């Protein structure tokens, strides 16, 4: 677990609990995604680290950049993050929030990293197999990594299935080295 995850967890938990009580999980998903996009935007780190800007000014500028994507509670989160110099945690807060939201909805996010783009049929087949094995709704996130050479790696919670050619070659190399 990274230091960012450890630092982001209390913020994500607080936002999740507040959003769940208010019945605003989708709205908070959108707000956190917008805030994360601002943090990830080119030049934002220089702006947010500017020594002549006060923490309040940073929160105000950040809020203006995000615009209508934020409500008053979203702006309050920005102020709290500014007060503690924690804007950099926003992408991790968003990720943790989405995991908590999926868990509350009885779903689990599964990441599939494949050597090449997967068809919709392949994705549906894998999602159905994971749903049968885990007994939960599956939300797929797909990524392409040509370094795998072929096959795929699937991660769903604590479950990791490595069916990549790269992994198989490593296993063969280890077996031959014995």
- For residues 142 and 74, membership in a common domain is answered with no
- Who contacts 162 (Cβ-Cβ below 8 Å, separation ≥6)? 153
Provide the pairing of β-strand 137-144 with 107-114: parallel
Residue at which a domain ends, from 103, 130, 158:
103
- For residues 111 and 83, membership in a common domain is answered with no
Classify burial at 26, counting beta carbons within 10 Å of its beta carbon; exposed 0-12, middle 13-18, buried 19 or more. exposed
Q: How many domains are contained in the chain?
A: 2
pLDDT in tens, 43-100: 887 887 788 888 888 888 888 888 888 999 999 999 999 898 898 899 999 999 998 9
Residue range of the domain that includes 128: 106-177
pLDDT in tens, 3-18: 888 899 999 999 999 9
- For residues 96 and 112, membership in a common domain is answered with no
- For residues 67 and 139, membership in a common domain is answered with no
- For residues 9 and 95, membership in a common domain is answered with yes
pTM of structure: 0.63
Task: Quote the CA–CA distance of 146 and 165 in Å, as a whole number.
Answer: 11
For residue 165, what are the CA distances in angstroms to 33, 71, 95, 110, 142? 34, 47, 29, 20, 18
Residue at which a domain ends, from 49, 71, 103:
103
Check which CATH number belongs to the domain holding 136 and give it. 3.40.30
- For residues 37 and 97, membership in a common domain is answered with yes
- For residues 122 and 97, membership in a common domain is answered with no
- For residues 86 and 111, membership in a common domain is answered with no
- For residues 97 and 135, membership in a common domain is answered with no
Neighbouring CB atoms inside 10 A of 15's CB total 22
Structure tokens at 118: 């997967």
- Who contacts 4 (Cβ-Cβ below 8 Å, separation ≥6)? 88, 89, 92
């Amino acid at each position: 677990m990274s230091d960012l995850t450890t630092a982001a967890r209390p913020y994500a938990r607080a936002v999740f609990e507040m959003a769940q009580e208010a019945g605003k999980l989708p709205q908070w998903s959108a707000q956190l995604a917008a805030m994360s996009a601002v943090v990830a935007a080119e030049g934002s780190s220089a702006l947010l680290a500017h020594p002549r800007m006060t923490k309040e000014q940073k929160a105000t500028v950040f809020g203006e950049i995000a615009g209508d994507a934020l409500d008053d509670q979203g702006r309050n989160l920005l102020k709290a993050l500014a007060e503690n110099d924690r804007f950099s945690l926003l992408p991790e807060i968003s990720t943790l929030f989405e995991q908590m939201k999926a868990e509350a909805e009885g779903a689990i996010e599964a990441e599939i990293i494949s050597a090449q783009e997967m068809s919709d049929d392949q994705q549906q087949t894998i999602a159905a197999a994971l749903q049968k094995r885990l007994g939960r709704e599956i939300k797929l996130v797909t990524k392409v990594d040509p370094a795998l050479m072929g096959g795929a790696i699937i991660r769903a919670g604590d479950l990791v299935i490595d069916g990549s050619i790269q992994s198989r070659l490593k296993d063969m190399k280890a077996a031959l080295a014995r």
